[in-house]
């Protein structure tokens, strides 16, 4: 089976996140970057399928030079090879443009059976990339999986969202997005880390995908950011030590605020 795992480098949520003044995009240089936790789970799921049978696992990312670190991490977990779409023209792409780029890039991997993605990245929170890529490719998308099984050309998942649970099945090729509960990703072993250094990573640009610069990036996006402003940080108000009347004090405060 030919599996593609979509991974994304995101700013570490522990570091300060900001937007750049110039083009109002995420300022990726100002914060530490990490492989998104949810993507490690997507990689893990692909490796489980590989270990249970026979599969080739290709990592795919669209991002700047620094995304190489995330790619290496995924390879060190055990993926076989990687495609890195790295092109200045992509910078500033909206979700629709990103979906088009990723869908085209999936096409470079040959006859793909299964695409795995995270259900929601910690930075963009569009949380719909799997469905969107499915839409571009005309493939079914099975989203928010907390369990996945693949057999006889069919993918089945247990879907779990805040709104409820259900079972979803579809025939391959298909796109599956994984949720937080699907598995516990492995740590790369020392051997894995060493092996990753020799695994093939093909770095390509949008012209290799048959795309024109006007179709991606800020230019190709259907949404434009007009302005942004930091919100003044909320400052703390009163803080009082409980002297046995803490509950009453809160009640008085709430009455003062007309909240009760």
Ligand X SMILES: Nc1ncnc2c1ncn2[C@@H]1O[C@H](COP(=O)(O)O)[C@@H](O)[C@H]1O
Ligand Y SMILES: Cc1cc2nc3c(=O)[nH]c(=O)nc-3n(C[C@H](O)[C@H](O)[C@H](O)COP(=O)(O)OP(=O)(O)OC[C@H]3O[C@@H](n4cnc5c(N)ncnc54)[C@H](O)[C@@H]3O)c2cc1C
Which of positions 116-135 make contact with ligand X (CB under 6 A)? 117-118, 120-121, 124-129
Binding letters toward ligand Y, positions 147-176, x by CB under 6 A: ------------------------------
Residues 9-28 that bind ligand Y (CB under 6 A): 13
DSSP state of 92: T
Residue 64 or 127 having the CB closest to another protein:
127
Query: How far apart (Å, rounded) are the C-alpha atoms in residues 116 and 74?
Result: 13
Phi, psi for 106 (deg, rounded to 5): -60, -35
Residue 41 or 158 having the CB closest to ligand X:
41
The interface partner of residue 39, options being ligand X, ligand Y, another protein, none and the CB cut-off 5 to 8 Å by kind, is: ligand X
The interface partner of residue 62, options being another protein, ligand Y, ligand X, none and the CB cut-off 5 to 8 Å by kind, is: ligand X
Nearest to 3 by CA among 140, 153, 106: 106
Residue 45 or 172 having the CB closest to ligand X:
45
Say if residues 170 and 140 touch (Cβ distance below 8 Å): yes
Residues 24-63 that bind ligand Y (CB under 6 A): 37
When asked if residue 114 is in the footprint of ligand X (CB under 6 A), the reply is no
Residues 87-106 that bind ligand X (CB under 6 A): 98, 102
Q: Which pair of structure tokens corresponds to residue 185?
A: 């990703």
CA distances from 252 to 1, 5, 239 (A): 65, 54, 14
DSSP state of 132: H
Q: Which pair of structure tokens corresponds to residue 219?
A: 């230019």
Q: Which pair of structure tokens corresponds to residue 132?
A: 């969107």
Is 75 exposed, middle or buried, given 0-12, 13-18 or 19+ CB atoms closer than 10 A?
Answer: buried
Residue 68 or 253 having the CB closest to ligand X:
68
The contact set with ligand X (CB under 6 A) reads: 6-8, 36, 38-39, 42, 60-63, 98, 102, 117-118, 120-121, 124-129
The contact set with ligand Y (CB under 6 A) reads: 13, 37, 122
């Amino acid at each position: 089976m030919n599996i593609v795992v979509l991974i994304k480098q995101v700013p570490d949520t522990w570091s300060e996140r900001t937007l750049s003044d110039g083009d109002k995009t995420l300022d990726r240089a100002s914060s530490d970057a990490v492989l998104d936790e949810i993507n490690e789970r997507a990689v893990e799921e692909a490796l489980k399928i590989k270990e249970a049978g026979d599969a080739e696992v290709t990592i795919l990312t669209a991002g700047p030079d620094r995304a190489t670190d995330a790619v290496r991490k995924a390879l060190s977990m055990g993926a076989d090879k990687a495609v890195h779409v790295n092109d200045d023209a992509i910078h500033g792409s909206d979700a629709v443009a990103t979906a088009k780029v990723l869908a085209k890039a999936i096409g470079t991997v040959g006859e793909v059976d299964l695409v795995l993605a995270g259900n929601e990245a910690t930075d963009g929170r569009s949380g719909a990339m799997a469905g969107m890529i499915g839409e571009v490719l005309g493939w079914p998308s099975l989203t928010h999986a907390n369990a996945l099984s693949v057999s006889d050309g069919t993918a089945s998942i247990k879907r779990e969202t805040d709104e409820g649970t259900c079972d979803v099945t579809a025939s391959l090729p298909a796109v599956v997005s994984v949720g937080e509960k699907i598995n516990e990703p492995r740590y790369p072993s020392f051997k894995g880390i060493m092996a990753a250094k020799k695994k093939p990573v093909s770095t390509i640009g949008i012209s290799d995908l048959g795309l024109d610069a006007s179709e991606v990036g800020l230019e190709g996006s259907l949404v434009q950011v007009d302005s942004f402003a930091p919100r003044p940080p909320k400052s703390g108000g009163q803080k009082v030590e409980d002297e046995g009347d803490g509950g009453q004090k809160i009640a008085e405060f709430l009455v003062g605020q007309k909240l009760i």
